[in-house]
Amino acid sequence: MRKAALAFAGLLVAAGIVFLGEASRLPTGWTASGPGPGFFPFWLATGFTLAGLAVLVRTWSSHHSPGEAFLPGGAWKRILVVFLPMVGIVAFLHYLGIYLGGLLYLLGYTRGVGRHSWPVVVAVSVGVPLVLFLIFERWFLMPMPKGLVLEWLLYGR
């Protein structure tokens, strides 16, 4: 397991460095019209790289038994419970869009996997996409894919 974790952490760091390089090609500071186009990618890549370094250091300094499995028995089921609905949302992105797809994914995940109460499920499932909608569509004026369903509900198109 240690070798797999070290390899994964190394890939995270390498990818983070590549992302940092690409983000640095764009202005990363504050411009007259707000954050430069490279601002968020740069800081996201910085966090990504730092997280990879933290995993690398933690894994390197920890002691695992040599025969420890990378994935314990039954872990694939938990991974698929998270991954397959995500694939479904991406597959229907044209119809659902980012916001409605996110709402459905969070609804299923918080209720089905997290077993949270309905008030928490509704608050998270509606609140997160709503906040993201306000940030991207209203604050940054950056239209995200809304999908056919949300376009029809919002604009009657």
pLDDT tens-digit profile of 110-120? 999 999 999 99
User: Is 42 in the same domain as 103?
Assistant: no
User: Is 148 in the same domain as 78?
Assistant: yes
- Mean pLDDT for 130-151 is 90
How many structural domains comprise the chain? 2
pLDDT score, position 64: 63
Look up the domain containing 15 and give its range.
1-70
pLDDT score, position 122: 97
Q: Is the dihedral of CA 4, 8, 13, 17 positive or negative?
A: positive
Which one-letter amino acid corresponds to residue 140?
F
Q: Which residue has the higher pLDDT, 70 or 108?
A: 108
pTM for the model stands at 0.64
Report percent pLDDT > 70 for the chain.
94
| Residue that finishes a domain, picked among 40, 70, 100 | 70
User: Is 45 in the same domain as 79?
Assistant: no
Residue 94 · residue 147 · CB < 8 Å: yes
